Amino acid sequence: MEINGKPLTQMTIADARTALLAGEVSVVELVTAHHARIDAFDQSGPALNAMVTVSDESLQVAEGLDAALRAGATPGPLFGVPVVVKDNLLTSGMPTSFGSKGFRDYRSARDATVVSNLRGAGAIVIGKTTMPDWASAWFANSSRSGWTKNPHALGHSAGGSSSGTAVGIAAGYAPIGLGTDTGSSIRLPAAFCNLVGLRPTPGLVSRDGCSPIVAMQDTIGPMARNVTDLTKVFDVLVGFDPADPLTHRHSFARRGAPYVNALREDSMRGKRLGVLRGAFAPDSVDTREVNRVMESALLQCMAGGATLVDVEEEWLPRLIERTFLYRFAARRDLNNWLKEQPGVPFTRIEDIVGQGGFDPRIPLLSYIGDPSDGRTSSSAFHAAIEAREELLSRLVGTLEANRLDAFVFPTTQSTPPLLGDVMDPAWNTVDGFLSPSVLASSAGMPALSIPAGFSSHGLPVGMEILGRPFDESTVISVAYGFEQLGSHHHAPVSTPAF
């Protein structure tokens, strides 16, 4: 199927809306076509294994939208657009398993606020996507669903923890989707799967109906194949929600206009971007290709009219290590949330871990669920909080001192690893692999990963754009400006158009 002259793997929200409102395609036909791609590629063909649940109700919902349009209803901004959502977001009508085999059959009677927002805008949730148990890994293995493959390189990791959402969008199961981000869980799979992914400032998007891991650091954000679609979804998600007290911070953003207003073709011109050299790794077998692609991307920024300022911050690695909050907050936050959910099979992460209800290859969950862990003293917790404040102060202070609009650096220092390698201690989530994208997570800043190019072996490389808290407009503007200089997004060859 083609929509507005494009295959589904290239279809945008605008393409879908134009075709639907012109009567060139029905919502039922559009949803059916996306279901066909899931049938062809998820458990068959390349067997990407990105979907946990495919909605039985999505065609019925599509029929209702078609009928409403015929009756003259005003279509919402995402009218008829299929969307996939991560399986830690509550959805009425579908199970929510949180990546855990112990929650395989758990159902909630309600939607997460962000899911309600999508439905209210006219989007159709066609399924739930794979994730590591309780969003506790940067790689795509789960006790509930096993391994999820990278559609650009089937033997390589798709990243995590928003693994399935990234793979589903890249493979054309839906043009847009939702992930969650505590450490790097939107941006890392976006980089590995050649997508755009946004981690908003915590408090701009409601976390109601989403399982936590570090509540003060958790946020929900959109993923898409281009900046425009991502921004349209973000506009639907943002806002105050009485069910999530942290969204009082929405007022700090002082958003007087939709974020789509930041999408200006020449928006790279005049920008001052800080190249955060401390986030680049020395050249090695694993990092050389990322550095090469990034240097090319930086030249593109300059050609588009940006001024680049090299920023050397030797203190970065030392300070980042001191901001790690999982040991202090994750068990408490997850247990408190579980106790509030009706009908759950477990109310303590210690019991889930103790009874083997998780993938034991995820070291962070063992670490979180170990009741004998004594590294939770109040003095150590306060030291971590102080380190986070210092990190934020240093980063924003550097932006101000150099009159910078944002920082840029590689989302990850290496290309996607082989699936067989990610259990090596070098990739360990607790104290091995460290993505520079944790900067935004620890400092409470917004960040966006955008495709920057491919390695010589065809592996995607992402560039991260890091901005001031509540300044998503500038982050989006820089990303859109970069995309206008030459998009680096390409559909994966493993899931061709048909």
Give pLDDT tens digits for 364-395.
888 788 766 555 567 888 999 999 999 999 99
Q: Which residues of 93-116 are buried (b: 16+ CB within 10 A; e: fewer)?
A: bbbbbbbbbbbeebebeebbbbbb
pLDDT at residue 378, rounded to an integer: 78
Q: List the beta bridge partners of residue 310.
A: 275
- Name which of 437, 413, 189, 159 is nearest 289 in CA terms: 413
Phi and psi for 70 in degrees, rounded to 5?
-65, -30
With contact defined as beta carbons under 8 Å apart, do 160 and 132 qualify?
yes
Rounded mean pLDDT, 315-323? 82
Q: Which residues of 459-488 are buried (b: 16+ CB within 10 A; e: fewer)?
A: bbbbbbbbbbbbbbbbbbbbbbbbbbbeeb
pLDDT at residue 61, rounded to an integer: 98
Mean pLDDT, the chain, integer: 94
For 121, the token pair is 């805008």
Rounded mean pLDDT, 26-41? 98
pLDDT at residue 440, rounded to an integer: 96
pLDDT at residue 372, rounded to an integer: 67
Q: What is the pLDDT of residues 87-137, one digit of tens each?
A: 999 999 999 999 999 999 999 999 999 999 999 999 999 999 999 999 998
Measured distance CA(82)–CA(89) in Å, rounded: 16
What is the crossing angle of helices 288-303 and 472-484, to 10°? 90
Phi and psi for 301 in degrees, rounded to 5?
-60, -45
Rounded mean pLDDT, 483-493? 97
Rounded mean pLDDT, 229-239? 98
pLDDT at residue 374, rounded to an integer: 54
Least confident of 105-114, 219-228, 433-442: 433-442
pTM: 0.97
pLDDT at residue 427, rounded to an integer: 67
Measured distance CA(308)–CA(272) in Å, rounded: 6
What is the distance of C-alpha 496 from the center of its chain? 23
Rounded mean pLDDT, 175-193? 97
Measured distance CA(87)–CA(180) in Å, rounded: 10
Measured distance CA(380)–CA(393) in Å, rounded: 20
With contact defined as beta carbons under 8 Å apart, do 186 and 197 qualify?
yes
Give the pairing type, strands 447-454 and 460-466. Answer: antiparallel
Res 429 pLDDT > 80: no
Count of positions (residues) in the chain: 498
Question: What positions carry a catalytic annotation?
Answer: 86, 161, 185
Res 196 pLDDT > 90: yes
Among 220-234, 347-361, 380-394, name the most confident range: 220-234
The secondary structure of the chain, three-state, reads CEECCEECCCCCHHHHHHHHHCCCCCHHHHHHHHHHHHHHHCCCCCCCCCEEEECCCHHHHHHHHHHHHHCCCCCCCCCCCEEEEECCECCCCCECCCCCHHHCCCECCCCCHHHHHHHHCCCEEEEEECCCHHHCCCCCEECCCEECEECCEEEEECCCCCHHHHHHHHCCCCCEEEEEECCCCCHHHHHHCCCEEEECCCCCECCCCECCCCCCCCEEEEEECCHHHHHHHHHHHECCCCCCHHHHHHHHHCCCCCHHHHCCCCCCCCCEEEEEHHHCCCCCCCCHHHHHHHHHHHHHHHHCCCEEEEECCCCHHHHHHCCCCHHHHHHHHHHHHHHCCCCCCCCCHHHHHHCCCCCCCCHHHHHHCCCCCCCCCHHHHHHHHHHHHHHHHHHHHHHHHCCCCEEEEECCCCCCCEHHHCCCHHHCCCCCCCCCCHHHHHHCCCEEEEEEEECCCCCEEEEEEECCCCCHHHHHHHHHHHHHCCCCCCCCCCCCCC
With contact defined as beta carbons under 8 Å apart, do 177 and 52 qualify?
no
Q: What is the largest CA-CA distance in the chain?
A: 63
Rounded mean pLDDT, 129-146? 93
Res 333 pLDDT > 90: yes
Indicate the pLDDT class of residue 165, thresholds 50, 70 and 90. very high
pLDDT at residue 433, rounded to an integer: 61
pLDDT at residue 225, rounded to an integer: 98
Measured distance CA(142)–CA(161) in Å, rounded: 10
Measured distance CA(41)–CA(254) in Å, rounded: 43
> How many other CB atoms sit within 10 Å of the CB of residue 281?
16
pLDDT at residue 375, rounded to an integer: 52
Express as a percent the part of the chain with pLDDT over 90. Answer: 83
Res 417 pLDDT > 60: yes
Give the pairing type, strands 176-181 and 82-86. Answer: parallel
Q: What is the pLDDT of residues 246-296, one digit of tens each?
A: 999 988 887 778 999 999 999 999 999 999 998 999 998 889 999 999 999
pLDDT at residue 85, rounded to an integer: 98
With contact defined as beta carbons under 8 Å apart, do 306 and 271 qualify?
yes
Indicate the pLDDT class of residue 220, thresholds 50, 70 and 90. very high
For 108, the token pair is 């909630």
> What are the chain's domains?
2-484 (3.90.1300.10)
> How many other CB atoms sit within 10 Å of the CB of residue 449?
29
Res 139 pLDDT > 60: yes
Indicate the pLDDT class of residue 435, thresholds 50, 70 and 90. confident
pLDDT at residue 359, rounded to an integer: 87
For 117, the token pair is 């927002």
Res 307 pLDDT > 60: yes
In the sheet with 219-224, reading across from the earlier edge strand, the strands are 51-54, 124-129, 82-86, 176-181, 219-224, 196-199, 447-454, 460-466, 406-410, 272-276, 307-311
